[in-house]
Every structure is written in C-alpha cells, then in structure tokens.
Structure 1
Amino acid sequence: MPGPTSHAEHTAEIRAVSRAGREVLAAFERVDRGWFVPRRMWCSPRGRLPEPVDLLTDPELWRRCVYGDTVVVTQFDDGATHWPEVGRVATSSASQPRLVVDMLERLRLRPGTTVLEIGAGTGYNAALLAELAGAPQVTTVELDPTLAEIAAANLTRTGHPVHLVHGDGTLGCPDRAPFDRVVATVAAVGDGLPYAWVEQTRPGGLILTPWGNAYDNGVLLELTVRPDGTASGPVVSGVAFMQLRGQRVFTGHAADFAELADAGDPRPSAVPPAEVAFGEGVFGIGLRMPEVCCEVSYTGERDYEVLLYHPAGGSAAVADVRDGVVEVRESGPRALWAEVEAAHGWWAGQGRPGLHRFGVTVTPEGQRVWLDSPANPL
C-alpha cells in the first residue's frame, strides 16, 4: 500500500489534488488525522476487505492507513465486535480525507458560523470545523456513548473544546439552535431525512448530508433552508457513508438470499446487469426500488454476480455474468429482476439521468425527490 506516511506528506498530497480554498487546506494542515485514530483499527491496505492494524506491531502500515486517502474503521457492529476480529457492519470510522476536505469546502465556513455536526465519531471532523468556525460555534452530537467519550477526550487533548452532546442526532440539538450549517457524517436513509435539521437551521442556511436507500448508498445532498420552513437542493456528488443507527438497512445475509435466488428457473436479462449495478444510473434506478438491496460480487477477472434481495419480503434475484453471457434466476413473492428491468426502462425513458440531475425537498409533511427542478417531483 504505497502512499504518504506522515501528516506533512498527507497534507502535501491533498493540496496537490484538492480544489478546496486556502482556509480549508490550512485547517487540514493544522489538524493531524493521526491524533484521532486509535492504536488499533481496521483498514483495507491490500484490497476491498478490511484488516486489523496495530500501531505497535506494524507502525508503517498504521501510518500508511492513517495518512493515506482511505477510510479507517474504528468500530464494528456498534462495538459488539472487538479488535482484531472483523465484524459484519462498520459503524464508526475516520472518513476518506479527500471527501472530508470537499465537504468542508461546500460548507463555506467562516469564523463565527454556527455549525451542528451529526455524528462525532473520532472527533476529527469536529476539530476541523472548530479550526474554521471557532470551537464555541461548533456543536457535535454522537449517539454511541463510547464513541462520545472517545471523541470528547480527543477534542480536549487536541485543544478543540467544541460542545459535544451524547444524544440522537436525528433530533438535532434544539438547545443550541438555530444554526447556520448542519453537516452529517452519517447517511440518512430513504424517507428518513430529519425535519428537525431543517427546523434548527436559519433561513438561508445549508444542510449537507449523505443520503441513500437500500439499493444505493448513496449521494451527498446540499439543501438550502427557506423562510417558509422547507429545505431543497440538489445531489452534488456520489458518496458512501455509514447509516444513521435507527435507519440502518438490513445487511450481512447476502449468501442466504443468493441461495434463495438460485432456486429459480434461469432466463436471459432484458437489460445489461452492469447498468443496474454500476455507474450513475444506479441512483435513479434505486429510487424505484428503495427497499431492495443490490450487491455485486466478483467471480472472476471479468465475471460477476448482481444480487437483488428484499429482506422484509423474502424475495431474491441474481444475474450471473460469465464470459459475457447473462443468466438470471429469481425466487420469492416478488420478481425482483423483472422489477429492476422496469426501473431501468423508466430511467432510460427519462433520458438516462445522472445523479446530479436529481434533488430533494424536505417539508414538515415529508420529503419528495425531483428531477432537474423542484417543480418536477417524481
């Protein structure tokens, strides 16, 4: 795993590739990511699968993980899985640095800007927010008591005395509202964008949050709060974040559903599996099947399987792509591959829109997704 092994090298690499402004890059330079990453964590230095890494037994690998442009996992399964075991679901991490910098730039922070962060995690992002807005202006909320304690200790030790609240981030922090900015470091799921975030943001303020569903997790939304108590804005990029704990999608049982799908009779596919599993079309297609999970596994250099499954309903479908030939099997009360073929047809009929043509409006009554304009809801 080549790459930088020090904060100075890490900063130089980010400066070379980032379009962020001077203030954000200066804040990034002042805060060492290594201050917030524990001695023992998990990283993926040799591929897609996370591995346990220990500073004391392999300091060079630890530094390459910490100072590389990669995610460092600091908790699995809400703390139920202990290092060095690798758990089923990553539930806390230090996010990819390039994405951290991009989100900080989008917030357009200045000294005195009041900020609510949802998901303190290690405290690293809150420290960066404090560098830009001032520590007294930053409130960060963390649901997990152990993570809240760790973040508080890290922030105190590094001289970033932000206001940290142990609580449910979906409720915001009404005692400290209103805020100029709300930024979430965890993803809202489906129709779960909290209206409390809108209520607690001043008119003209911004909400920057990851958002997705079971099919595609997900995208980054930049919502502007209006005087009428609504918030609306576009998808600005594709991202993948851990999900709000109370909204987390059922995962980790793909093998069971793959076995269920294999019981079906084989047939060809009416659509290329790659178009329903990869690329910008996945987001639009996923909007038509938000409660269905989509996972890809590679069975060879160019061979792969696309698995669709509906956890609540016990339906599954798999498309096996081998030597360019596609074979589909589906089983259960719902014909999921037929549904994804129909969703693909809808997406193609809309002009094959990329994710940047979509947006969301949040109101007291709920939320609605739109294409190209809030006046064109789906």
Structure 2
Amino acid sequence: MDSSEEIALRGLLGEISNELGSLASQWERAAWATPRHRFLPDRLWVGETLTLCDREKSPDAWFQAAYANEPAVTQINDGKDPGDGERWPSSSASAPNIVFRMLDMLDVEPGAKILEIGTGTGWNAGLLTRVAGPGTVTSIELDPGLATEAEERLRREGASVHVVIGDGAKGYPERAPYDRLEATCSVRRVPRPWLAQVKPGGVILTPWDSPWICYGLLRLTVDDAGNASGPFSPHSAFMVMPDQRTNLGIYRDVVREDQQPEESATTISPWDVAGQDFEAQFAIGIQLRDVWRTWQKAPVEGVSSRLWVATTDATSWAAVDWDGKSQGRFTVWQYGPRRLWNEVEAAYGWWKLHDSPGPERFGLTVTPEGETVWLDSPDQHVFATG
C-alpha cells in the first residue's frame, strides 16, 4: 500500500470512528488488510445522475470515490445498457460507515461460520474472513458475473471465502448451520430458509425495506424452535432483494383514464408522511406493508405538488394535491377497493399517539407461519402477516 492509499484509508477510518463513536480494533485491522479500492471495479457510477467514472480516464476521481464514506455504485440497470433511459443502481459497495456498523452488530468471533447474502464486490466478505478466519465465510451472489469478479478479487487478496452463485433467499443449506447470517441487500420479508440454516442462538442481520421507504436494520436471534425475534435499529439504505422489488409506474401500471376517483380533503400534510421524517415513514411502512408512494411535481395546472400512494397489486391508489398556496388543507383523490389515504392517516395517527417511536422501539418476530411486528416488547403486537 503506497502513501496516498494509507492517507486515504486512515482518513476514512477516522471518519467512521467519529460517526460510530469507536471502531473495534478487530475491524480496523481487517480494513487495513482488505483495502476497499482493491475490491472495486474500474467503472463506477457517481452522483445523483449516476455518471460513469472510469478509473483509466479519471484515476483521481475514481480513487476519491473509492474512499468516500458513501456507497459506490458498481452496476446500473442489472448490467444492461440504459441508453438515454432512466438509470438506477442494481449493485453497489455499501457506504463504509454502514458496513462497519453492521459488522459490529453482527458480533463475530474467530471460528464463527457465516453466510453472507449478496457478495457484491467481495469487500464485506473479505472483512468478515479476516476476523472469523479462513474458510469460515460462505457468500452467495445471484449475478454470475459479479460472483466471478468478487471471487477473483478475494483470491488475489488472499481472503479464503467460499463464493457460490445462487438465490440468496434460499440461503445455502450445503454448509449450514451457520452462527451468523448477514444480508447486504434489503428485504421486505425474512426468507424462511434463513431461519432453518442458522443455529439456535445464532444471529440474522439484514437491512429492512418496505415499499414506502428503505430504512432500518433488523437483528434477529434464532431460538430452539426455529423461530427468530429481535429489534430494528435506524439507518441504512440498501437495494432490495430482486424478487422482492416493486417495479410499478403510476401512469404505466396503476392509473387509467376511465377511473373515477372520489374527492375529499385532508389537513395532514403529505410531507409529514413522505418528507424528511424517516421515523414517521418507517412507522407507516411497517404498518402498510403493501403500499408504496412517489412524488410528482406540477402534474396539472393548479397543482404544485402531488403525492401518489398505491398498493403493490395496483388495484387501489390515492393522490394528495397541494396547490402551492393553501395552508393546512390538501385535496385528496382516491380510487379502488381500499381508501389508501385514510389508511395512511390512520397509520400516521397511531405513530403520533404512541409518542412517535423510532425504529429502535420496533421489533419483528418471525415464525414459519408468518411475521409479527411489535413495539417495545414482543407481546405488544402492531401488525401480523402470513
């Protein structure tokens, strides 16, 4: 490692330590033994516009992106050329601060058997094996190209990881049972095979997503009966496991010209439920597990902003309009068998009534039959689903 690399890594680790309060010495040693830039491809996509940053053409910009405390997007549109169309991230190296936050939460000891869901660049698997030991980590990746590249990087860096190509939702029973299972993609429901492949007392750690918002981490402990329960914590934003994504467009899939919505009004601001209050959004998403939303600016004359709300089966929708002038009053349009805005108001009202709890007050219990969301303790149920 040359001096510029040492300076960059030292600066990054210092920033992470400041954010987390401290960085465990075992993970600091792992970071020095597993430099992040050696696990990144030569092409990254940076900024909100996902502009291509090529290492050969812009080495300084690429290196800066490699050691920024931000996600590094390594693939867009599932590896397909978007042309002039919309670009969206389909694989990335997670922001280093959340990587080390999750590693600390995972509580890894030497010799622990670990299953990682989503190999990505291989960096996280490399960090894990530096602490758990050679041959202890199995990492599964759905994309064959990404898996091959990650396996080569790990081999080059002397990190002994068993990389397999497959569907992470199914786990990898061939090397079960595991002491720890860590997902590097968000889930909206916990795949049941994970419970069967983790030992009693073992930990499942996964980023959490709802169609409403991608926010939160879930840490489950598996019991002797094969169930799992544990709390959420704040932060994190990961891409959703492919088979759990919502791929809908309001005008393409939901709204039709012949639909006749009902008009009403509300005093609840759409920004209260879909703005910058992530704790409110988490609480709404954890209650309305099949509802998503999107914003539209100036959709028609006389409307400055519109919040769309729809079910993931595209059968019900609502739109909340602000004319840009009125204070505390918004027009509501609703269509379908469900009155979605009423449901959003009820979920938001419940959250306010319970003293606006953050994700750390919520938890989840998972059994083979279903999932139950709880508040403060597992016996205080909020929502259950099969």
Q: In which range does the TM-score fall when normalised by the shorter chain?
A: 0.7 to 0.9
Name 1:370's counterpart in structure 2.
374
Which residue identity is paired with 1:75?
Q
Tell me: CA distance 1:271–1:166, structure 2 relative to 1, closer, same or farther (3 Å). same
- Secondary structure (helix, strand or coil) at the match of 1:284 reads helix
Q: d(CA) in 1 for partners of 2:105 and 2:85? A: 34
**Displacement of 1:87 after TM fit?**
4.7
Q: Mapping of 1:258-277 within 5 angstroms?
A: 268-277=265-274
Name 1:228's counterpart in structure 2.
225
Q: d(CA) in 2 for partners of 1:65 and 1:361? A: 38
Tell me: CA distance 1:20–1:86, structure 2 relative to 1, closer, same or farther (3 Å). farther
CA contact (8 A) 2:24 2:104 kept: yes
- Secondary structure (helix, strand or coil) at the match of 2:128 reads helix
Name 1:108's counterpart in structure 2.
107
Q: Which stretch shows the higher mean deviation, 339-348 or 199-208?
A: 339-348
**Displacement of 1:86 after TM fit?**
7.1
Name 2:14's counterpart in structure 1.
12
Per-residue CA deviations over 1:287-315 (Å, capped at 9, x if unaligned) read 3322121234678xxx8653323352252
Determine what percentage of the aligned residue pairs are the same residue: 37
CA contact (8 A) 1:258 1:317 kept: no
Question: Which residue among 326, 348, 355 is the counterpart of 1:351?
Answer: 355
TM-score, normalised relative to structure 1: 0.88
**Displacement of 1:95 after TM fit?**
0.3
Tell me: CA distance 1:327–1:257, structure 2 relative to 1, closer, same or farther (3 Å). farther
Tell me: CA distance 1:130–1:297, structure 2 relative to 1, closer, same or farther (3 Å). farther
Q: Which stretch shows the higher mean deviation, 26-35 or 124-133?
A: 26-35
Question: Which residue among 3, 21, 29 is the counterpart of 1:26?
Answer: 29
Q: d(CA) in 2 for partners of 1:297 and 1:211? A: 25
CA contact (8 A) 1:203 1:227 kept: yes
Tell me: CA distance 1:349–1:260, structure 2 relative to 1, closer, same or farther (3 Å). farther
Q: Which stretch shows the higher mean deviation, 330-339 or 48-57?
A: 330-339
CA contact (8 A) 2:114 2:179 kept: yes
**Displacement of 1:85 after TM fit?**
6.5
**Displacement of 1:54 after TM fit?**
1.2
Q: d(CA) in 2 for partners of 1:85 and 1:15? A: 40
Name 1:320's counterpart in structure 2.
322
Which residue identity is paired with 1:69?
N
CA contact (8 A) 1:317 1:335 kept: no
Per-residue CA deviations over 1:191-250 (Å, capped at 9, x if unaligned) read x31121111111111110112221122320011111121110000223211111111122
- Secondary structure (helix, strand or coil) at the match of 1:223 reads strand
Q: Mapping of 1:99-248 within 5 angstroms?
A: 99-189=98-188, 192-248=189-245
Q: d(CA) in 2 for partners of 1:366 and 1:374? A: 14
Tell me: CA distance 1:336–1:37, structure 2 relative to 1, closer, same or farther (3 Å). same
Q: Mapping of 1:257-336 within 5 angstroms?
A: 268-277=265-274, 278-279=276-277, 280-296=279-295, 305-311=306-312, 312-313=314-315, 315-320=317-322, 322=324, 325=327, 327-333=330-336, 334-336=338-340
Name 2:301's counterpart in structure 1.
none
Q: d(CA) in 2 for partners of 1:91 and 1:74? A: 8
| Cα RMSD, aligned residues only | 2.7
- Secondary structure (helix, strand or coil) at the match of 1:249 reads coil
**Displacement of 1:101 after TM fit?**
0.7
Tell me: CA distance 1:112–1:317, structure 2 relative to 1, closer, same or farther (3 Å). same
Name 2:346's counterpart in structure 1.
342
Q: Which stretch shows the higher mean deviation, 290-299 or 49-58?
A: 290-299
Q: d(CA) in 2 for partners of 1:273 and 1:184? A: 32
Which residue identity is paired with 2:317?
S
CA contact (8 A) 1:264 1:329 kept: no
Tell me: CA distance 1:239–1:15, structure 2 relative to 1, closer, same or farther (3 Å). closer
Tell me: CA distance 1:106–1:202, structure 2 relative to 1, closer, same or farther (3 Å). same
Q: d(CA) in 2 for partners of 1:358 and 1:143? A: 30
Q: d(CA) in 1 for partners of 2:295 and 2:127? A: 35
Tell me: CA distance 1:63–1:255, structure 2 relative to 1, closer, same or farther (3 Å). farther
- Residue 250 (structure 1) aligned with residue 253 (structure 2): no
Q: d(CA) in 1 for partners of 2:33 and 2:75? A: 26
Name 1:91's counterpart in structure 2.
90
**Displacement of 1:267 after TM fit?**
5.2
Q: Mapping of 1:30-49 within 5 angstroms?
A: 30-44=33-47, 48-49=48-49
Q: d(CA) in 2 for partners of 1:135 and 1:43? A: 33
Q: d(CA) in 1 for partners of 2:339 and 2:9? A: 51
TM-score, normalised relative to structure 2: 0.86
Q: Which runs of 5+ in 2 are unaligned?
A: 1-5, 299-303
Tell me: CA distance 1:15–1:289, structure 2 relative to 1, closer, same or farther (3 Å). closer
